[in-house]
Amino acid sequence: MRMWRSHGDPLFMRAYLQRNISSMGKNKNKLSKELTYKMRYFIQDTSLARVSQNLRTVFFDYLRNQREGLPAEFDGILNDMEALFELLDVAAEERNLK
């Protein structure tokens, strides 16, 4: 299991996103215009702090109720959820700075 970074580490997430998004243009997994538009719309027109908080609440309530019997691939799920929470936090922070 990897060491967890704080979800409040915007420098880590910004570097992670820049590295991964810049490499997308070099391969066939380039984001479509429609996906880019929908992501931009979501970021601009959604309360990212509310979405982030609601997802955290649902996720941790699930964990409390599933103390035993978590899926074998749960480490991957934790990594994905952490990355999603960090993305939402960075997007909310950057939107609030503008």
Structural domain includes residue 2: no
Structural domain includes residue 25: yes
Q: What pLDDT was estimated at residue 75? A: 85
Structural domain includes residue 3: no
Structural domain includes residue 45: yes
Structural domain includes residue 75: yes
Range of the domain at 73: 10-97
pTM: 0.58
Please say whether the dihedral angle defined by the alpha carbons of residues 61, 58, 73 and 87, taken in this order, is positive or negative: negative
The string of pLDDT tens digits covering residues 11-64 is 555 666 666 555 555 556 788 999 999 988 888 888 988 998 999 999 888 888
Q: What pLDDT was estimated at residue 55? A: 92
User: For residue 94, is pLDDT > 80?
Assistant: yes
Which CA distances in Å does 96 have to 12, 37, 49, 56? 18, 20, 10, 20
Q: What pLDDT was estimated at residue 10? A: 55
Q: How many domains does the chain have?
A: 1
Q: What pLDDT was estimated at residue 62? A: 87
